[in-house]
Structure 1
Amino acid sequence: MSATIYLVGAGGQLGKALRASDKASARVRALTSADIDITDEASVANALAGLGAGDVILNCAAYTDVDGAESDVGRAFAVNRDGPGHLARMSAGSGARLIHVSTDYVFAGAAATDDAPPRTVPYEPADVTGEPETVYGASKLAGERIVFDTDPTATVVRTAWVYTGAPTSSDFVGTMRRLESARPDITVVNDQTGSPTYAPDLADGLWELVSTDPDGPAAGVMLHATNAGSVSWYEVARAVFEELGADPERVRPCTTDEFPRPAPRPAYSVLSGASWTTAGLTPLRDWRAALQAAVTGDRTGRG
């Protein structure tokens, strides 16, 4: 019998992309927050009552309000640390496979100082994370640790700057699309560097991971998966304007200090894709081609 894929967080941004992917397993059991409360061990046990050896838990549920987490610490840790721990206990106890999605925010990504130059080398999974500067990052790092401590055969996939780019979406690309028609010009930070990741591309990559040998090179390891390349938020905004046929000069740069937020953002959080390819998985395409696909609606997005 084919494995059942328990998709946890099926109602979120990535969960919806996983469900919509043409690579999705025919045996997906989509679990939204109405079906499972990952912070409640009894709810987890009930929702995963049929879990058995060979099945897969694909967890993309998370508390992702980076600024909100600063004042909602208990909830952030309950969802991002305790929830994955409950899922890991289920996978370890049943022989099922757990794939858990994490974030670039686990790295401190500190800005340059008088004593240290800015980082320019993408992070590998084995790199020391340091102390995350946000509650969100700290809670996700704690989640990674509890997953591996509880189920050493699990796979954790870090990603970054995930978006769908839909005109009505609240992600960065969707917001830039709306602002282009609403304002004569906009100001965007130019000193935060990362790897924008198109949710449908990440979803396809995760389905490829699900299809691999559960005892293969991806078992019990940390992987990084983002669209290729690195860029600043300012450059992403300019690219969105270009795809819309608008003048990119209407996007003006500013510094992080000029645009303060409750939660400090990493100055540099680019993730290396080497671990993904080493595990035998297909690299995600370049960020620019993916952005074109998101804005134009053409999934091929050649750039």
Structure 2
Amino acid sequence: MILVFGRTGQVARELARQAPEACFLGRDEADLSDPEACARAIREAKPDAVINAAAWTAVDRAEEEEAPATVVNGAAPGAMARVCAELGIPFVQISTDYVFDGSGERPWRPEDPVGPLGAYGRSKLAGEEAVRAAGGTHAILRTSWVFSAHGTNFVKTMLRLGATRDRLTVVMDQVGGPTPAKDIAATCLAMARALTSNPDLSGTYHLSGGPDVNWADFAREIFRQAGLPCEVQDIPSSDYPQKAHRPANSRMDCSGLSRFGLSRPDWRQGLARVLSDLQGASS
């Protein structure tokens, strides 16, 4: 049995679709602001593997609340990983491109030096370090620009705004890979299962959708596939100030996925699936 922390988030909901037999813990059963409660939940469940699909994802709010964000994104995964190490079971932790400083144009490799630009990235990096320090079988999966038919994300925001406006301004100087939550869930499951029989696969991996794109061109493809006539005007990040500084370069080298027999997904196909899901939900 696979134990999943998270129930309502984008990846957790996709995990529930793909592995309904797994056990899912929501905030009422395992609050990540209480790391020891998370550890107890694992000991009581005695699972075959654990996937942490819960996190503090409010990037801008983390700038003002770094301490609680670091408990959720750093201390809680560390507590989970230590119990998994004690029990001899694999632990899969989802991380982020925000652990890098966003410099250059080359895709980031898992072994590249980290340098978070803000509190959210620091909190997720703390989680990575705690998972590695636990010394157990693990996979840290860094991903970026997550979207799905669930929750709040860029695709759903663009669809909502594009349905009522003729033109939108969208940032064009941040480049990365939009990643369908469905593919993140499938990768987490594949990693958890593979690590059960082959602990030597432990390590840090990258998953992002291809091809790399900037936000403005991502928006254009959303409108094209959705059949919305909304025009996109490119703007620099400096014209759209936010509390947390976003990485300019979120390109990620995903070649390590081949160790699990996986490859980088095409986000355009994932977008078509999400639009189909949303259309089905509204009909």
Query: Under TM normalisation by the shorter chain, which class is it?
Result: over 0.9
How many residues end up aligned between the 2 structures? 279
Aligned match of 1:239: 221
Tell me the CA shift for residue 267 of structure 1.
0.2
> What amino acid sits opposite 1:125 in the alignment?
P
Aligned match of 2:177: 195
2:147–2:181: 8 Å Cα contact kept in structure 1?
Answer: yes
Instruction: Output one character per residue of 1:9-62: Cα deviation in whole Å (capped at 9) or x when no partner.
Output: 2221111111012xx163x1100111102332431233223344x711101111
Tell me the CA shift for residue 103 of structure 1.
0.5
Structure with more helix by fraction = 2
Matches within 5 A, 1:168-207: 169-207=151-189
Instruction: Output one character per residue of 1:168-211: Cα deviation in whole Å (capped at 9) or x when no partner.
Output: x4200000000111212110000000100011122122222222
Tell me whether 1:7 sits opposite 2:1 in the alignment.
no
Aligned match of 2:265: 285
Stretches of 4+ aligned residues off by more than 6 angstroms: none
Aligned match of 2:71: 78
Aligned match of 1:142: 126
Q: In structure 1, how many angstroms separate the alpha carbons of the residues matched to 2:108 and 2:269?
A: 22
Tell me the CA shift for residue 151 of structure 1.
2.6
Aligned match of 1:123: 108
Aligned match of 2:39: 45
2:49–2:196: 8 Å Cα contact kept in structure 1?
Answer: no
1:40–1:83: 8 Å Cα contact kept in structure 2?
Answer: yes
Tell me whether 1:35 sits opposite 2:32 in the alignment.
no
2:89–2:137: 8 Å Cα contact kept in structure 1?
Answer: no
Give secondary structure in 1 for the equivalent of 2:265: coil
Aligned match of 1:90: 83
1:209–1:281: 8 Å Cα contact kept in structure 2?
Answer: no
2:43–2:83: 8 Å Cα contact kept in structure 1?
Answer: no
In structure 2, the CA distance between the partners of 1:270 and 1:143, relative to structure 1 (3 Å rule), is same
Tell me the CA shift for residue 254 of structure 1.
0.3
In structure 2, the CA distance between the partners of 1:292 and 1:210, relative to structure 1 (3 Å rule), is same
1:67–1:261: 8 Å Cα contact kept in structure 2?
Answer: yes
Give secondary structure in 2 for the equivalent of 1:212: helix
Q: In structure 2, how many angstroms separate the alpha carbons of the residues matched to 1:179 and 1:215?
A: 47
TM-score, normalised relative to structure 2: 0.93
Give secondary structure in 1 for the equivalent of 2:12: helix
Give secondary structure in 2 for the equivalent of 1:48: helix
Q: In structure 2, how many angstroms separate the alpha carbons of the residues matched to 1:39 and 1:246?
A: 41
Instruction: Output one character per residue of 1:214-245: Cα deviation in whole Å (capped at 9) or x when no partner.
Output: 25276321011122220011011000110111
1:243–1:296: 8 Å Cα contact kept in structure 2?
Answer: no
| Aligned residue among 206, 209, 212 for 1:224 | 206
2:175–2:249: 8 Å Cα contact kept in structure 1?
Answer: yes
Q: In structure 2, how many angstroms separate the alpha carbons of the residues matched to 1:87 and 1:134?
A: 24
TM-score, normalised relative to structure 1: 0.87
Q: In structure 2, how many angstroms separate the alpha carbons of the residues matched to 1:125 and 1:46?
A: 31
> What amino acid sits opposite 1:15 in the alignment?
A
Percent of residue pairs bearing the same amino acid type: 33
Instruction: Output one character per residue of 1:59-109: Cα deviation in whole Å (capped at 9) or x when no partner.
Output: 111101000100011111010110111101111111121111100110010
1:70–1:263: 8 Å Cα contact kept in structure 2?
Answer: yes
Aligned match of 1:269: 250
Instruction: Output one character per residue of 1:260-284: Cα deviation in whole Å (capped at 9) or x when no partner.
Output: 000010000111110111x133214
